Amino acid sequence: MGVGNMSFADRVKKLVFDPRFLMAVYIGTAVFISVQVVMMGTHLYKPPDHPIPNDIMNQPQYMDLFLGKRLTEFNNYLIFKGSYFHLIHGQNLYGIFPDEHWDFYKYSPTFALLMGAIAYLPNIAGLVIWNVANVLAVCFAVRMLPFSKRSQAILLWFIINDMATCLSNAQSNGLMCGLMVAAYCCMQNNKAIWATLALALATYIKVYGAIGFCLFLFYPDKVKFVLYAFFWNVVLLALPLLVTPFGTLVWQYHNWAALLMADASAATGISVAGWLHTWFGIDAKSIVSVVGLALFLVPFIRYKLYRDELYKILTLAGMLVWVIIFNHKAESSTYIIAVTGVGIWYFASPRLGWHTALMLLVLVFTCLSGTDFFPGYVKKHFVYPYDIKAVPCIIVWCVIFAELLAIRPGLKVGRDRAVCAPVAPGDA
């Protein structure tokens, strides 16, 4: 059927699933949100009504520093941008800078150096480039997945609201998500040099990116992967020496480790630990972290499936959800990573009715829970206090975990009708 003979509905459908149109929508969203938050100007700092106990930024000695200060709606970008100047001037990257921004810088010295690429630009230009980089990372990574173009498009529509949340906060989670997914896809295509670079970059943005290195287990020529990984990590570790002395760089890494240790004792986040605390009054963050790590490792005992395509991509999906729901600092803007994992699980798995029901559950209660889809009263008294955003992702992760333990060998990604079956003796 020619374009001229297509109905209006068919034309809309064709446009909605057009990769170029979707790319334009993502880039347009990034530009619009960037301009919007800059144009919103500043607001006077207001101490939180209910500060998180033990959170390092909610200590009186820090909050008092911000009294009378005016903050922007793109605070995270100012943190990233300012880190470059603190690095080249030999200042403590992990100190407090109340005249510049709220909160601490919690990334590596290498990330601070890389921000120099846009640090000298006006805020509006730098923020646009930063947010566009995040959406491009996600779009290109999704396009690398072994799904049809239609499925890739649906996945991008599914995660777009969480992408917008990430952009509104000028966060790096889109970049993290894109790098972790792209690393898997590069491994699948035997491009070890690019896979290891992606994972090393992710690690030097947020340390939990290092969990992606476990995917090396699935591929032959592990020595090559290890050597490339070692090379990129050494390069990125030492890269700030271009602008700072060796002794100062060692001091910066020491300060980074100290801040991360102090920060780890603070919040529970929108996570399994947060869910247990808000629903059942259980405070067991350390136990949850240990149990979560143990559960993450359990499916790897099925070493005979290490070359099975469905097993590998479900491991990727589970990893993306796991790094968020077991993260003590998980917040709304990090869920772009978890919902991408949910989407990958759905399109890699067979089309079962209850899978679709779970996807809808995630769409409503994770993707849309912070929007006007829910009345303000419901969000204030139900969604936020009870970490509702995390619950559907926790359920999906449990399903992925069970499927990884029960999956039959030899199933094709997204085509076979049955995923789970009794595990044959010696197959686990």
Query: Taking a C-beta distance cutoff of 8 angstroms, is the pair 404, 311 a contact?
Result: yes
What are 1's two structure tokens?
């059927």
SS (H, E, C) 310-378: HHHHHHHHHHHHHHHHCCCCCCHHHHHHHHHHHHHHHHHCCCCHHHHHHHHHHHHHHHCCCCCCCCHHH
- How far apart are the C-alpha atoms of 410 and 221, rounded to whole Å? 22
Query: Taking a C-beta distance cutoff of 8 angstroms, is the pair 313, 344 a contact?
Result: yes
Q: Which amino acid is it at 271?
A: S
User: Position of tokens 């991509």?
Assistant: 313
SS (H, E, C) 377-416: HHHHHHHCCCCHHHHHHHHHHHHHHHHHHHECCCCCCCCC
- How far apart are the C-alpha atoms of 122 and 124, rounded to whole Å? 6
H/E stretch holding 177: helix 173-188
Query: Taking a C-beta distance cutoff of 8 angstroms, is the pair 117, 83 a contact?
Result: no
Closest CA relative to residue 271, chosen from 260, 259, 283, 261: 283
pTM: 0.93
What are the two backbone dihedrals, phi and then psi, of residue 53, each rounded to the nearest 5 degrees? -60, 135
Q: What is the pLDDT along the chain (428 residues), one digit of tens a residue?
A: 555 677 888 888 889 999 999 999 999 999 999 999 999 999 898 877 656 655 677 777 788 888 888 999 999 999 999 999 999 999 999 999 999 998 899 999 999 999 999 999 999 999 999 999 999 999 999 999 999 999 999 999 999 999 999 999 999 999 999 999 999 999 999 999 999 999 999 999 999 999 999 999 999 889 999 999 999 999 999 999 999 999 999 999 999 999 988 877 666 789 999 999 899 988 888 899 999 999 999 999 999 999 999 999 999 999 999 999 999 888 999 999 999 999 999 999 988 899 999 999 999 999 999 888 889 889 888 998 899 999 999 999 999 999 999 998 887 787 444 444 434 434 44
Q: Where are the alpha helices (DSSP H) in 51-171?
A: 60-63, 75-88, 109-114, 116-119, 123-144, 149-168
Strand partners, 44: 70
Closest CA relative to residue 166, chosen from 175, 154, 158: 175
- How far apart are the C-alpha atoms of 161 and 139, rounded to whole Å? 14
Ramachandran sector of residue 411 (left: φ over 0; alpha: ψ -120 to 50; beta: rest):
beta
> CA separation (Å) from 309 to 31, 185, 269, 315, 375?
37, 12, 33, 10, 42
